[in-house]
Structure 1
Amino acid sequence: MRTVCKILIVEDELITRQALRYIIGMQGNSFTIVGEASNGRDALKLIETERPDILISDVVMPIMDGVELAKIVNLKHPQIYTIMLSGHSEFSYVKSAFQYGVADYILKPELEPAVLLEKLHQLAQKQNIYLEQPTADYAKDVLKTLISKKDALNAKNVVLPGNRYCLWCCSLKKLFATGLHNENNAKEIIVDVVKKLLQGIDFYFTYTDDFYLVFLFCYNQGEYKHTVERICAAAKEISENIPTLFWIIGDEYQNYLETRTKFLYISCLADLKFYFNHYTIIFQHDLEEINIHAVFHNKKYFESIRCMDFTAAYSELASFLFSLKDGHYLREQELKKMLENIVYNTINTLEEMGIDMEGLSARKMEFFAYITNATCPQELADKLQIILETIEEYAIVHRNTEDVLFGRILKHIEDNYSEQITLNHIAEFFHISYSYLSTCFSNFTGYGFNEYLNNIRVESAKKMLTDTDIPLADISEKVGYSDQSYFGKVFKKRTGMNPSAYRKCSAKL
């Protein structure tokens, strides 16, 4: 009877591989990692020699991606179960992998130890591998009890000294990825300094599963300033040995049962070193209320790309990056992954416009490396400018002037579809002949002018019907139809239902 499950990790990001090793290692001897690969091609070689039971694979990787790997594994080794790791923006792509036998997926931003281990145990059971049941050992120390969601009831039984509290936190994720310090060495240096410089102050510390080192300081009313001064002195000495650490000192609070909520907030702040790379330590109260869900609206960006206006496209990206210092943030890994996708789709958009970008496709990984290695928003903006200038130079050499013209025409239609525009109006606006425009428009878009215009108007109307309570007559006018009855006929022809029915169906979803 088999009691050990063999796992192969396929992931090009070192930080993620390290996190997976740590989580899997929490289960002792139940799982063994038989190998690691940074792309699908290398993984196939390891599969032949190591015969894993479970494959944990990223979706987007160089050389051979996760979907292509899943396809080959399903064909040659159908007994192997695959778990896909995916970013939010990649999910539409990862769905295609399920037809190749992928057993499950996990979104990277939501990679929790408990979730991954549960899925691994389920798949091991399907393989008839009889693992020892994991024993949950929560709250070995006071602080772990206070910040653990599963120990909320036990937290009420904790007795702490003092009547005021504050947290001190840093993230060790990137530190371990550099290879300069191992886990035990780094924690030993930090804890030794704290014990030496903060003698006489009661504190507790713990190291969380997701690589945060957090201290809880307990003291009496009026001692916050003195306590913080000593914490800063400790941070300064620690930085002499480990200069890359970024510390957050939390605000003072009175109710120790708020510790979990306080920790969740400052641990988010501890991930923002990318935006404050010149700082070793920062106070929670120095930062405004933050939003870790900043959104880049890429419509204007890709409209500029289609018009070959790379200056405007870069301006959209730069404005977004520098707005991130105004209290709206993305975690570094999410931001960089988003920008990699934008670069990837920029090249694809130019290819869709008929520009031969094959010679530049080979440089995608080089562009991704520029993004990955940037250490702050300014450096990232500079690298993006270099990338877009490179793409622009290449596209100009290989472009067709007709493609650029029609990119401008389509943007003009998107900006003015609510007006009574006609093909003749557009011909006059761009100083080209009506007959040339009429012939080339359908060749370029695959639609006649009226059909293309109606498609844009209906899509805009669908959004208003779903997101607003604007009356149908007003929507009809806003999208360019003066006759509401005609608007209803056009809408039904393209959606299969009239506007009123569409709004009712959308409200039920």
Structure 2
Amino acid sequence: MANLHTVLIVDDEATIRDGLKHMIRWEQEGFRLLGDAANGEEALHQIQTLQPDIVITDLKMPQMDGIQLTTVIQQQYPEVHFLVLSSYDDFQYVSQAFKNGALDYLLKPTLTPASLLQTLGKIAKKISHSQGSISEETQLQEALNRYLAGYEESLQPIDAYLNPTLTPADYQLLYTNLRHFQSNQQLFHALNEFAQSEPKLRTLPFRTSNNDAGLLICGPQHLDIGTSLKQCLLQLTYTEPDAFFTLGNAFHKIDQLRTSYLQLKEKSRGQYFFYKRQRLVFEHELFPYLTSERFDTKKFLRALLDNNFLLGIARIEEFFNEMIISNVEPGVLKQQAGSIFYTLLSRLEEEFPNEAAFSQIKHQFLREVATVRYLEDFSDLLLKTIEAIREQLTPLSPLDEDDLLVSIQRFIHDNYMKSLSLSELADTFHFSYTYLSAFLSSKLTMSFSDYLKNIRLEKAKELLVKSDLNLSEISQAIGYSDISYFSRIFKKEFQMTPSKYRRMNQL
């Protein structure tokens, strides 16, 4: 019995599974039938538990088909051999299965006990020939792949291999994702070179079915491997320009491996976006993602509906200037940019139907923002697009002085609580400081500073009467950080202190 080759059958048709079970005398022919599964997902669970030598699988199945199943088997269970069941019209599937490592195929319409037995016999010979040739390191790599993919696996053999003397050691994970690479071969060659260059370290490479890859590293405690690792990975970037790695924090016990791996994987998600010129980043350097600020869609749409397109663009710039320095998740950042610019450019297309440039800008921006890889390029794309919009918009929609005044007044009312200055206002509306100062003085019959002061003090009066905020909180809420200064200008304007005003006007 010990020499029997074990077999698992996978097919979504119960009649096919039953037919195969009774087609040959399995044990008399040197095989043991372990069981059967109706789809790839069921099969994977049984492969992990039963560890068959051979899998006979159909190609077309629900949930997980045979191609997906053979892909996972090749990556996580390379010691498992498989053959595929096909119909006459399954050539494309069979071709892909052979690329995934299938040893043979059986045509369902012409399947006979003799052809099944002959094919199984060929696979059995290959198994017998290869058994014993798999190195200990390869077996441990496969066990590590399965463990990181979520399967239960003993870590004792891995620990014994990495730390045979059982001395105090540091474990670290070097993590990457294969979608950053054009050739997996280059990646694992570089990892092998690093392992050979550090005699004090023992390593095991890994690669999961989710395209996570990297190196489990074990070495003396507090050994600094960052410098030599950076040098090794620098060579890789000549052939893999998008290569990006994160090096996890050290941990001291092998049973912390899964937690460390999952934390590093989550922290590393999308981080390459912030590091255009850095190929290796340590875990403590990774940016924690912050919640995105909500874009004030109401004010933005109001500007567009009022045809105040320059104000709408100013709101976009203000929003993304804040987002770019706020460590927002790249996917969220790009999605928001796509949505906001789509709205702006669609409104411009509607307002200026004879101007084809806005449609061209829109389609180009949506195409580029979806594929932009780095924050630096994302920022450049926003600036380039805004400049192109302004260039097209300026001769079409000159802002008359009344519209400009309304837009500026609205902006001041929306931002009076901030440290607002005339210089910031000039930058926002793209005018010189001197021009804007003269323009506001003539239109408002007062200076910008007096206009801002009046808005703030009127708001202060409202808060004094209608809120329970103390004087310090009211001062902060209207844009004054110094409560004594606030009290002085309030008294000068209304001939009484804020406290007296509150007492006189509260019911």
TM-score by length of 1: 0.46
Tell which has more relative contact order, 1 or 2 (C-alpha 8 A, sep 6+): 1
* Bigger CA radius of gyration: 2
